Structure 1
Amino acid sequence: MPEFDVVELEPADHLEPGTEAPDFTRPLVTDEFWEDRSLADLVDGQTILVFTPMIGSFVAKYVWDELAERGWLEREERVVGITASTPYGISSFLDENDLPAEVVADPTNEIAAEYGIGHDLDGMTGIGEPRLAFVALDADRTVESIWVADEWPEFPDYDELEAELGLE
Structure 2
Amino acid sequence: MSPDWSAMFTFSVSPLEIFIRGSTVYWFIFVLLRVAGRRDVGSFGVADMLVLVLIADAAQNAMAGEYKSIVDGLVLVSTIVGWTVVVDRVSYFVRPVGRLLASDRVCLVHDGVIARRNLRREYITEEELMSELRVRGIADLGEVHRAYIEADGNISVLKRRARD
Q: What TM-score, normalized by structure 1, do the two folds share?
A: 0.21
Report the structure number with the largest CA radius of gyration: 2
Higher helix share: 2
Which TM-score applies when normalising by structure 2?
Answer: 0.21
Which has a greater percent of strand?
1
